[in-house]
Amino acid sequence: MKIYEYNKLTEKEISLLLKRPAIDLDSTFKIVKPILKEIKEQGLKKVYEYAEKFDGLIDNNIRVTSEEFDDSSRQLKQEKKDAINAAAENIKRFHEKQLPKNYSIETQPGVICSREFRAIENVGLYIPGGTAVLPSTVLMLGIPANLAGCLRIIACSPAKEKIDPAVLYAARVAGIDEFYKVGGAQAIAMMAYGNEEISKVDKIFGPGNQFVTAAKILVNSDPDGCLVDMPAGPSEVLIIADKYADASFIASDLLSQAEHGKDSQVILLADDKKLIDDVLKEIDVQKEYLPRKEYVEQCLNSSYALLINSISDGIIFSNKYAPEHLILNVDQAESYVDKIINAGSVFIGAYSPESAGDYASGTNHSLPTYGYAKSIGGVSVEMFMKAITFQNLTKSGLEKISQTVIQLAETEKLLAHANAIRVRLK
């Protein structure tokens, strides 16, 4: 990790530290667009071709069978099932509180307006499966979709022949029984456009690599496609620490994020130079025991530590960066919470590691990256729903509001709008 001193940086140098590495979407689009076009036009045949080409699929049936679901439960050790069940329960408890409330109000006598929520009927969940098995993502997406009341929930994940038992068991726990062995851009195209056997969905959720991200952006802008949850870049964590923090704790948090992949972003802001030095020593010790050491080292080569003047300076920097994950490993961490404006998920205090939120604390780990935390939050129950407004006017209510509507309509020279009021008052 590179080390910088906040005091010695120019404004331009600070702004460069706030930037994420550029993602070359143009070249990715050139690869992804033909895939989407062919699947849109030729359907399931092309899905199979690309699944075989990119994922090595050898199964001639991409839909997971009920027998495969049953086998996953038998193959998985009980301690793994217990962990998935416990995490699912916490996720459910937290997300149940997100169910939005309907309301009705009489804005003036005889004019009643209301707002009611309805579930999105068909949703698609993308579960990455390239370099890691992610049953936690199945829970994070499937549980809120079920709580919202979505009628049909389908999931896709890449596989050569079988989906990992932990992923299928998590799908059963989350209430998903329609699961396909397809990954990458071809999975996004299949869900967005549908085909002769698989109906399209109305919205796609879930993280993925650059090809998945590009495919989501493209189907989101295609009238024949569907909406998506959010664009997503590589995973990231920013840690703010003071001299009281334990260097081994911080090193473990940085490494837990770095092992996601070489493109992950890990940043340490600390007000004590000795702490930074101790953290770097701890990283060297701890990384030797990690099976994904190669990914870790590639990530750390493009990451940095920043020596700051104060924790308040760290908060200001963090709000500008808008990290996916923010860890406050400082004394009296709770006192800084109100100052956090931009972050996907915040971990408060020395005993709140990011991995707790990734798996089992209850909050969602599908979060905005690449600075999108400035304008959007993580996946929630509400994202699987949409609000519909209603209005019910009595004749006397229409009479009372009539002149307001007529005057505004005439101001905008939309006389048919005004006439729709007048004909009812005659």
Q: Is residue 69 part of a domain?
A: yes
pLDDT of residue 406: 97
Q: Quick one: 191 and 312 in the same domain?
A: no
Q: Is residue 353 part of a domain?
A: yes
What DSSP character marks residue 110?
A: T
User: Residue 361: CB partners within 8 Å, gap ≥ 6?
Assistant: 90, 94
Q: Is residue 369 part of a domain?
A: no
Task: Pick out the chain residues at pLDDT < 70.
Answer: 131
pLDDT of residue 114: 98
For residues 254 and 176, what is the distance between their CA atoms, to the nearest angstrom?
33
Helix (H) / strand (E) element for 364: namely none
Q: Yes or no: say if 226 and 203 are a contact pair by the CB < 8 Å rule.
A: yes
Strand order in the sheet with 178-180: 178-180, 152-156, 122-126, 203-205, 227-228
Q: Quick one: 263 and 171 in the same domain?
A: no
Q: Quick one: 184 and 54 in the same domain?
A: yes
Q: Is residue 370 part of a domain?
A: no
Active-site residue flag, 324: yes
pLDDT of residue 331: 96
Range of the domain at 180: 25-99+119-228
409 φ, ψ (degrees, to nearest 5): -65, -40
pLDDT of residue 112: 98
| Residue of 139, 166, 182, 190 whose CA lies nearest to 36 | 190
Q: Quick one: 69 and 146 in the same domain?
A: yes
Q: Is residue 141 part of a domain?
A: yes
For residues 302 and 379, what is the distance between their CA atoms, to the nearest angstrom?
28
Q: Quick one: 348 and 245 in the same domain?
A: yes
Q: Quick one: 191 and 276 in the same domain?
A: no
Q: Is residue 382 part of a domain?
A: no
Query: What is the total count of domains within the chain?
Result: 3
Angle, CA of 80, 87 and 385, to the nearest 5° = 130
CA atoms within 13 A on the CB side of 294: 1
Residue at which a domain ends, from 228, 263, 297? 228
pLDDT of residue 25: 83
Active-site residue flag, 417: no
Q: Quick one: 16 and 77 in the same domain?
A: no
Q: Yes or no: say if 361 and 345 are a contact pair by the CB < 8 Å rule.
A: no
Q: Quick one: 206 and 285 in the same domain?
A: no
Helix (H) / strand (E) element for 340: namely none
Q: Express each pLDDT in 389-401 by its tens digit.
A: 999 999 999 999 9
Q: Is residue 389 part of a domain?
A: no
Q: Quick one: 215 and 69 in the same domain?
A: yes
For residues 282 and 295, what is the distance between their CA atoms, to the nearest angstrom?
17
Residue at which a domain ends, from 228, 257, 272? 228
Radius of gyration of the chain, Cα coordinates, nearest whole angstrom:
25
Q: Which of 324, 365, 412, 417 is catalytic?
A: 324
Supply the CATH number for residue 129's domain: 3.40.50.1980
Q: Which of 259, 325, 354, 365 is catalytic?
A: 325
Q: Quick one: 58 and 165 in the same domain?
A: yes
How is residue 26 written in tokens? 């143009």
Q: Quick one: 203 and 256 in the same domain?
A: no
Can you tell me which residue has the tokens 């997971």?
64
**SS3 letters for 151-199?**
CEEEEECCCCCCCCHHHHHHHHHCCCCEEECCCHHHHHHHHHHCCCCCC
Q: Express each pLDDT in 211-241 by its tens digit.
A: 999 999 999 999 999 999 998 778 899 999 9
| Residue of 147, 135, 151 whose CA lies nearest to 381 | 147
Parallel/antiparallel/unpaired status of strands 122-126 and 203-205: parallel
**SS3 letters for 32-74?**
HHHHHHHHHHHCHHHHHHHHHHHHCCCCCCCECCHHHHHHHHH
pLDDT of residue 261: 78
Q: Is residue 375 part of a domain?
A: no
Residue at which a domain ends, from 180, 200, 228? 228
Cβ atoms within 10 A of the Cβ of 346, count? 19
For residues 346 and 354, what is the distance between their CA atoms, to the nearest angstrom?
8
Can you tell me which residue has the tokens 């969602």?
364
Q: Quick one: 284 and 295 in the same domain?
A: yes
For residues 126 and 317, what is the distance between their CA atoms, to the nearest angstrom?
32
